Structure formats: structure tokens, C-alpha cells
Amino acid sequence: MIKPDGVKRRLVGEIVARIERKGLNIVSMKMVKIDRNTAEKLYEEHKGKSFFNELVSYITSGPVVCMVIEGDEAVKVMRTLIGSTDPKEASPGTIRGDLAMSKGENVIHASDAEEKAKKEMSLFFSQNELTG
């Protein structure tokens, strides 16, 4: 998912190009404005933590671009491609290392496990929207 800061800064094309150049397939993609209820489901593992409300407020602050990406070990490859959560720690050449401005506004979200990816896909895509 390209987060609100990535959309606002017009980085969608750059990020999509990096994903495709890596050899991954974007099998579904759409721009949405996430409502609070969906955002709380997306970040439910952080509920009760001090930064939960900040996460929810941020992800609902503007449009995001949701994507379903497939490929050999897609979750692992995407996590490597995006880099560390904190862009100060992200390697140059990663999406966050090159494009993110702060830990709070770090341009992109990617699932960290296949099970989580399936759950997150179901929040944003119906079965007939998946083309892969």
C-alpha cells in the first residue's frame, strides 16, 4: 500500500516501477480513502499501544493506493525492497531509504507475513477484483 504521503508527493509511479522492475506482478491495484473502521482493523495488532490513534489518523488522512502483489517469495522480496520502517535506518536503494521522510510518514506499507497479507487483501479487495 502506498500511504497518504506517497500519494500526496506523487511517488505512485516511481514505487510501482520499482516493484515491477523487481519482477513482481501487481495483480490488482486501486486508490481508496480508508475509513476509520477499516484502519482500525488494519492496525488491530497495535490497539492499546500509545501510537495506535496516530497510525489510524495518518492512514485515513488521504488516499492510498492498495496493491496485491505476487511473485516468488513476494512477502519477503517486498519487505527487502521497501526497507526498514525508519527511513534513517533503511538502506539506500530501498523505497524507504530513498523516498521516505520520517518513521511516521514512510511512504509504503507491506505485510510482513503471508497470512497477514491475505487478511489485509480481504480488507481492500473483493474476490472478483483479484486478477492473478
Residue 34: predicted pLDDT: 98
Residue 91: predicted pLDDT: 97
Cell 489518523 belongs to which residue? 57
CATH classification number, 4-126, choose in 3.40.50.1110, 1.10.3720.10, 3.40.50.720, 3.30.70.141:
3.30.70.141
From 42, 81, 82, 109, the catalytic residue: 109
The x, y and z cell numbers of residue 51, run together, are 501510537
The x, y and z cell numbers of residue 98, run together, are 530513498
Q: What is the pLDDT of residues 5-45, one digit of tens each?
A: 999 999 999 999 999 999 999 999 999 999 999 999 999 99
> Does residue 46 carry a catalytic annotation?
no
The x, y and z cell numbers of residue 73, run together, are 517469495
User: Within a 13 Å sphere around the CA of 10, how many CA atoms are in the beta-carbon half?
Assistant: 0
Residue 130: pLDDT band by 50, 70, 90 thresholds? confident
pTM of the model: 0.93
Q: Which residues are annotated as a binding site for ATP?
A: 3, 51, 79, 85, 96, 106
Q: Residue 131: is its pLDDT beyond 80?
A: no
Q: Domain map of the chain by residue range?
A: 4-126
Pick the closest to residue 116 from 29, 46, 13, 23 (CA basis). 46
